[in-house]
Amino acid sequence: MKRIGKEESLSEAFGIRGGILSIVGAGGKTTSVFKIAREQEAMGKKVLVTTTTHMELPGKETVLSGDADDIIQKLKPGRTVTAGLRDGEKMKGLPKEVFQAASSFADVTIVEADGSKKMPVKARNETEPVIPEGTDQILIVAGMSALGRPIKDVCHRPERACKILEKSSEDFLNYEDIMKLIRMEYVIMLRKQYPDAELLILLNQCDTKERMDQAARIGICFDSQYSVILR
């Protein structure tokens, strides 16, 4: 388990080595996607960013044609290309064959593979997360800004979370609740369904000493098996 600052490298902290990285959970997925993309880009990598759910349109170097050749043409060393299909004001994922072709050309592919409605924590439904075939590493994100706040205000799919935690939607979340959501909703399922992928855990939004201390209590429960970063 390691504590890092906002400006320190997630790629270095987690040992992100290339291939396909899928990012799931809540509390900073999109920010983490593009931070890691910038870090990999700075190393001279050809970086592909995409999604299997929906994500905001990033603005530049975006390919929305759904054509693998268009994506590959833009993938250059030291450049990040974001690709998907336009869906209203957002972007949805690429067809499987396009994803496979484009990701095989990229040095590293970073996939936002879960939705959370901008909440810091979440419970998932039976279709989530959507992990692409061939994923090498899966990064689970959880936001510590949820600590000490009512479930209904900080959790995506609060009804399911309440059932798992045996609490009401008005109850406040503590570190044990977040630990249980990470374990029950992600670690157990991902270990079973994706046994060959390396699991990583980012306890994000540790903006105060109290949050950092509580995050350390969560992290110690996973640290013996997985790479855990407090940020």
Helix (H, G, I), strand (E, B) or coil at 191: helix
52-103 pLDDT per residue, tens: 999 988 877 899 999 999 999 999 999 999 999 999 989 999 999 999 999 9
Beta-carbon contacts of 66 under 8 Å, excluding residues fewer than 6 positions away, are 85, 94, 95, 98
Query: Which amino acid, residue 4?
Result: I
- pLDDT value at position 106? 98
Where is average pLDDT lowest: 27-31, 53-57, 75-79, 209-213?
53-57
Helix (H, G, I), strand (E, B) or coil at 172: strand
Backbone dihedral angles phi then psi of residue 92, each to the nearest 5 degrees: -110, 175
